[in-house]
Amino acid sequence: MEYEEIVFSHLSKTAEIKSRMVDCCMKSILMAADTISNTLRLNGKVLLCGNGGSAADCQHMAGELVNWLNKDFQRPGLAAIAMTTDTSVMSAIANDSGFDSVFERQVEALGRTGDVLIGISTSGNSGNVIRAVQAAQKIGMKAIALTGEGGKLPQLANVVVSVPSQNTQYIQEAHLAVEHILCSLVEQQLFADTGGDL
C-alpha cells in the first residue's frame, strides 16, 4: 500500500502542476512559440543549453525540431543545435575556462543576430545557462528560459516559461510537456498551410 501511495501522490501532484500551468504559463508558451517560429522563418536557428536532465531535454527538443514531432505531419527539418552533446568541445572549454563557460563560448561561436537561445534550468540559477543567455543577448539573439519558481534566469530572458513548482522532478516533467507543445506550435505556425511541405 505504501508504494501505491507513492505512485498516486506523484502522479496527482504532477497533474496538478500541469493543470495550474494552463492559467499561469499559457501566454508565455505562446510567446515562446512565436519567437521560435519567427526565428526559423527568417532562416535563423535554435540553440539549446541545460544541465543534467535539462541537457537531455535540449537533445530531445533539438531532435524533434531537426526531424519532426509526429510522423503523420512530416515537414522539412528545422535548424536546432543542442549545445550539450559534444564532449570534446564541452570538456575543452571546461578545462580551459571553467564549467560556467561551456555554453557561453558555444553561443559566441555558433550564435548569430536573429537566432534564439533556449536555456533550461529547473532552479533558474545554473551559472552556465545564465552566462549563455547573457552572451546571446550581447550578439542580438532572443533568449527563452524554461525554469521553475525563483532564480536569476527569469530576470534575464526575453520570454520565461516558469513552472509553478520548486521540485526538480515535477519541473522537469512539466518542461517536457512544454517542449512538445512548442514543437507542435512551431510546426503548425510554419507548415499548417502546406501540410508539411515547403
148-193 pLDDT, tens digit per residue, is 999 999 999 999 999 999 999 999 999 999 999 999 999 999 998 8
How does 90-104 read in b/e, with b if 16+ C-beta sit within 10 Å?
beebbeeeeebbbbb
- Give the DSSP letter of residue 100: G
Assigned C-alpha cell, 75: 515537414
Instruction: Please give the average per-residue pLDDT across 39-46, as a whole number.
Output: 98
Our CA dihedral for 182, 183, 188, 189, rounded to 10 degrees, sits at 60
Nearest to 52 by CA among 196, 192, 185, 171: 171
- Give the DSSP letter of residue 160: E
69-126 pLDDT, tens digit per residue, is 988 888 999 999 999 999 999 999 999 999 999 999 999 999 999 999 999 999 999 9
Whole-prediction pTM value? Answer: 0.95
**Alpha carbon distances (Å) from 152 to 39, 111, 113, 124, 159:** 25, 22, 24, 6, 13
As a whole number of angstroms, the distance between CA 111 and CA 117 comes to 8
As a whole number of angstroms, the distance between CA 188 and CA 165 comes to 29
Nearest to 135 by CA among 160, 101, 164, 169: 101
As a whole number of angstroms, the distance between CA 69 and CA 66 comes to 9
Q: Which domains does the chain have, with CATH numbers?
A: 2-191 (3.40.50.10490)
Let me know the angle formed at the C-alpha of 126 by 137 and 18, rounded to the nearest 5 degrees: 95
pLDDT for 36 equals: 98
Let me know the angle formed at the C-alpha of 28 by 24 and 30, rounded to the nearest 5 degrees: 115
